Amino acid sequence: MRAGAPRDRARTVSVIDLGGGVSWVHECFPETDAHIHVSVYLVEAPEGAILMDSGSFHHRQRLADRIRDATAGRGIGAIVLSHSDYPHSGNIPAFRRDWGDFEIIASCGDPDLQGLPYARRTKIGDVTEVLGRRFVVLDPPLADRNHTTWVYDEASRTLFVADGFGTLHAPGACDIDWGRIPEDGRAEGVHEFHAQTLPWLRYADPDRVMGALHAMLEKHPPAWIAPIHGPPIAEADVPRYMADLSDALTRIAERN
Amino acid sequence: MNEPGSDTETTPAAAPMPAARTGAGWRRDVWPGIHWIQELGGHRAGIARAVLESGADWYRPGNELYVPQNAYLLTGERTLLWDTLSPASGHILLPALEELLGERPLDYLALSHPDVPHAGNTMQVLRRYPQCQLVAPAAGETHALYHLDDAMKVGPGDEIDLGGLRVRFPEATFLDAAIHTWMSEEATRTLFTVDWMGFPHQSGESLRRTDEIDTVVDVGRLEEFHSRVMFWFQYVHPHKVTAATDALAVQFAGYGLAPAHGLPIPGEDAAPYYERMNEVVRRVAAGGRGGVL
Ligand SMILES: [Fe+2]
Ligand SMILES: [Fe+2]
Ligand SMILES: [Zn+2]
Ligand SMILES: [Zn+2]
């Protein structure tokens, strides 16, 4: 097993351990030609389990079962939300019914309008503590909704991201990290994902987007990039991912 | 000029405003057959501060400043609701619909995009009007993730004849999500844009069109909205965006604009707004985003 490859914690498809108390609770959804991940991540914090995003209502029951299993029945103590888009935020009410009125950390300018009147607001640039673990709140260069934030977990050096850094995958390649996806078609999965998910990229200057991403990765070097809509990207694979992403942005820009 | 919630006392000559209601209320006939239901949201203190610091003269200190959500009810022989406001405003939307529709059914609910502040009352509307046909953008791949798999899908080339009013679904030129459409109405010549062409307004300006307020909607005012919501303007080649804006200005020359987050702009006044938006893009591309909404 190469360094940094995720280890299956259980023989069943439960959660995949990325190390540092972070695990990938992968779920995906079939599109016409490929699968798209709509995952969540679990982070073990000193005072409880943090869920990064809440996943899609399609996967509600399975997610709830897997989270219960992975936390030995304790459930979750907080959710850090990337943005209040239904496939990311849709399970919050149900999970709060299951596990009590735990804390929701979200970045929106007006939580009421996003249907999250109970959320604790964070701002870009904050360093925020959640259940005793510190997260840096970052301004995402690849996002759809303006209130999206990415967070960097200092303890594990994991960068949690949505919607950027996704990769569409072939059926069957649902539970492997990015570096282990067969190279044939992998770059196309990066391109397809960004072309369909972030329509504004047709107007983008790829150099400006890539410049902002490189600056972020330099300041917050990730052991893992943990996307909601793609497999996790290990540190050793980040340069190859960034090269594929740069090509993808150039293709999207040139087509329009 | 009235506060929202007061009875109407001024009646602009160009457009009688027989029924404007409540602080977050609704208005009959912003144009013939097009009714406007507005959610103000709370006072945006941060934006108000930024506006004051910018030296803008359209905002009067002490006024509340709003970035509204708008829904529009179109009533021909058949009826169509465009967007539903945020989940915080079901109590505004449903009574407004009941009062505007009376005994009439709601035939269509069309969503610009499944974003919480626009689609937040979809289920309540469909429960209240069970015969209503849900209409969703055809664009995008993940409709099932939004409960939109069974909706009627519309895009460029599609038209719904409401009898007297005809709506079409041009591509959303500036979209914030893959599943997204704009709408036009061809009898009144109105283009409904979401989220593009939003801007803040202040106390006394709610439920007014731009020709009914005494302040200007200049580049700076449009920038307050777009430098936050269209944060990605900071990463673009401005000429690509301005080319798309110029094309829109030609395609919809003479159309009034009914934005989701601003005040409606009459067709005869619309042309300079496209020019102002081009300046907004150049400014954000040079200066970066203004914050978060
Ligand atoms: Fe999103
Ligand atoms: Fe919006
Ligand atoms: Zn997403
Ligand atoms: Zn899959």
Residue type present at position B99:
E
What is the amino acid identity at position B129?
Y
Q: Across residues A168-176, what is the average pLDDT?
A: 96
Residue numbers of the domain that contains A38: 6-255
Residue A41 lies in a domain: yes
Helix, strand, coil % in chain B, rounded to nearest 5: 30, 20, 50
Residue B250 sits at φ, ψ, to 5 deg, of -75, -50
pLDDT band, residue A13 (cuts 50/70/90): low
Residue pair A121/A111 in contact (Cβ under 8 Å)? The answer is: yes
Average pLDDT of the segment spanning A140-147: 95
Q: Tell me the residues of A at the B interface, defined by beta carbons under 8 Å apart.
A: 29, 31-32, 36, 38, 56-58, 84-87, 89, 107-110, 112-115, 117, 123-124, 139, 141, 143-147, 196-200, 202-205, 208-209, 212, 253, 256
Q: What is the mean pLDDT of residues A33-49?
A: 97
- Using CA atoms, how far residue B89 sits from A3, A13, A56, B34, B59, in Å, is 51, 41, 24, 20, 26
B159, B166 Cβ separation under 8 angstroms: yes
Inter-chain CB proximity A31 and B142 less than 8 Å: yes
* pLDDT at residue B10 in the model: 34
Contacts of B291 in chain A (CB under 8 A): 109
Q: How far is the CA of B153 from the centre of ligand 4 (A)?
A: 26
What pLDDT score was predicted for residue B291? 85
CB A46 within 8 A of CB A133: yes
Hey, are the CB atoms on A84 and B244 less than 8 Å from each other? no
Residue B200 CA to residue B47 CA, distance in Å, equals 9
3-state secondary structure of B221: helix
Give the distance (Å) from ligand 4 centre to CA of residue A171.
Answer: 5
SS3 content of chain A, % helix, strand, coil (to 5): 30, 25, 45
Contact A229, A36 (CB under 8 A): yes
A85/A134 Cα distance (integer angstroms): 24
Residue A115 lies in a domain: yes
**Domains, chain B, with CATH or none:** 19-287 (3.60.15.10)
- Give how far A116 is from chain B: nearest CA, Å: 9
Residue of B nearest to A107 (CA): B292
Three-class HEC string of A107-138: CCCCCCCCCCCCCEECCCCCEEEECCEEEEEE
**CA atoms lying within 13 Å on the CB side of residue B197:** 26
The answer to whether residue A121 is domain-embedded is: yes
Count of the separate structural domains present in chain A: 1
For residue B95, what pLDDT is reported?
A: 93
Tokens, residue B214: 């005494």
Whether the per-residue pLDDT at A41 is higher than 90: the answer is: yes
- Is A46 part of any domain? yes
Q: Residues with beta carbon < 5 A to ion ligand 3? A: A 163
Q: Averaged over A46-75, what is the pLDDT?
A: 96
| Residue A194 counted as domain residue | yes
Mean pLDDT of the A57-66 span:
95
Residues B79, B104 contacting (CB under 8 angstroms): yes
For residue A7, pLDDT beyond 50: no
Q: What gap in Å lies between CA A134 and CA B32, rounded to an integer? A: 55
CB-CB under 8 Å, A144 with B88: no
Provide the CB-side half-sphere exposure for B11 (13 A, CA). 8
Q: What is the mean pLDDT of residues A202-212?
A: 98
Pick A114's closest partner by Cβ from B117, B229, B232.
B117
Distance CA A193, CA A209 (A): 16
CA of A196 to the centre of ligand 1 (A): 11
Maximum C-alpha span of chain A: 51
Inter-chain residue contact B235 with A209, CB threshold 8 Å: yes
Predicted local distance difference test score (pLDDT) of residue B15: 40
Q: Which residue of B has its CA nearest to A38?
A: B145
Contact (Cβ atoms closer than 8 angstroms) between residue B55 and residue B104: no
Which ipTM was obtained for this model?
0.93
The side-by-side arrangement of strands in the sheet containing B133-137 is: B26-31, B34-39, B69-75, B79-82, B108-110, B133-137, B152-154
Query: What local confidence, expressed as pLDDT, does residue B23 receive?
Result: 54
CA distance A91 to A81: 11
Element (H, E) at A151: strand A150-153
Contact (Cβ atoms closer than 8 angstroms) between residue B180 and residue B139: yes
Ligand 1 centroid, distance to A144 Cα (angstroms): 5
By CB atoms closer than 10 A (0-12, 13-18, 19+), residue A65 is exposed
In the reported structure, the alpha carbon of residue B253 is separated from the centroid of ligand 3 by a whole-number distance in angstroms of 35
Asked if residue A183 belongs to a domain, the reply is yes
Residue with tokens 């449009």: B222
Pairing of strands A103-106, A78-80: parallel
**A14 to A10, A17, A61, A244, B198: CA distances (angstroms):** 6, 10, 13, 30, 45
Residue of A nearest to B140 (CA): A196
In a domain, A1, yes or no: no
Q: According to the model, what pLDDT value does residue A152 have? A: 98
Residues of chain B with Cβ-Cβ distance to A207 below 8 Å are none
Helix (H, G, I), strand (E, B), or coil: what is residue B130? coil
Residue A44 within a domain: yes
> How near does any CA of chain B get to the CA of A58, in Å?
7
- How does pLDDT run along chain B (293 residues), one tens digit per residue? 233 333 333 333 334 444 455 555 788 889 999 999 999 999 999 999 999 999 999 999 999 999 999 999 999 999 999 999 999 999 999 999 999 999 999 999 999 999 999 999 999 999 999 999 999 999 999 999 999 999 999 999 999 999 999 999 999 999 888 999 999 999 999 999 999 999 999 999 999 999 999 999 999 999 999 999 999 999 999 999 999 999 999 999 999 999 999 999 999 999 999 999 999 999 999 999 988 88
Q: Which of A113, A121, A126 to substitute to test the interface with B, most B CBs within 10 Å?
A: A113
What percentage of residues in chain A have a pLDDT greater than 90? 91
Give the distance (Å) from ligand 1 centre to CA of residue B21.
Answer: 34
Instruction: List, as one string, the DSSP characters of B152-220.
Output: EEE-TT-EEE-SS-EEE----SS-SSSS---EEETTTTEEE-SSTT---EETT-TT--GGGSSS---HH
- Which CATH number goes with the domain that contains A10? 3.60.15.10
Cα A29 vs. chain centroid, distance in angstroms?
A: 15
Q: Contact B236/A204, CB-based, under 8 Å? A: yes
HSE-up (13 A, CA, CB side) for residue A16: 19
Can you read off the two tokens belonging to residue A3?
């360094």
Mean pLDDT for the stretch of residues A109-137: 94
User: Taking CB atoms and an 8 Å cutoff, what residues of chain A touch B41?
Assistant: 110, 112-113
Mean pLDDT of all residues belonging to chain A: 93
Among A5-9, A82-86, A142-146, the range scoring the smallest mean pLDDT is: A5-9
Nearest-CA distance from B226 to chain A in Å?
10
